[in-house]
Amino acid sequence: MVSGTIQYTEGDFALSQGAFSQAQPLALWKGACALACLGAVIGLGVATLLSKVLQPVFPAVSEFTAWGAACGAIVLVSAGAWRLSAKRSPMQEAALSHPQAFVLDESGLRLSTATAETRMDWAHFLAARIDPDAIVLRTRDETIVLLRPTFVADQATWSEAQRIVSAHVATSSGAIKPEPLS
């Protein structure tokens, strides 16, 4: 039996979401460039269509089609930045502010706080990712549980946690790498 206390940090959310992803994360600057190019193409296309429609009424409007590309790029990059700046969910806020006690044993995982308790048998877990610095468990309902060595008392306890998880859940290997921030 292994017991400890889970206290998540902000970096743990990106780590846990990327643990089972097959896709490589896209660097922020690459995403901004892709959005700018897409916005420029869309903006130029819309401006060209508008200039053809408005040409008989406003002959000088065709001189401003290049501004459509600039405006499209600005709009899409702004929308992407707004999306990235979204606030954490209430569940993530709670995970950051309220520690959870956990117990791993041969029958499963028990998570508890001051007000609730959850018991999950090993059959509830689909996959586990075990690395020297993290264990990431994925459940049937796509919930992710992240365990770190800092959540337990010592290295021997951490090794026991790794042994218990690997004995009961299908594991994948490879280093878990958090998504780059820039």
Q: What is the pLDDT of residues 108-139, one digit of tens each?
A: 999 998 888 999 999 999 999 898 888 989 88
Domains of the chain: 2-22+88-172 (2.30.29.30), 28-84 (no CATH)
Of 146, 168, 147, residue with least CA distance to 157: 147
| pTM score, whole prediction | 0.59
Give the pLDDT confidence score for residue 176 in this predicted structure: 44
Which carries the bigger pLDDT value, residue 93 or residue 54?
A: 54
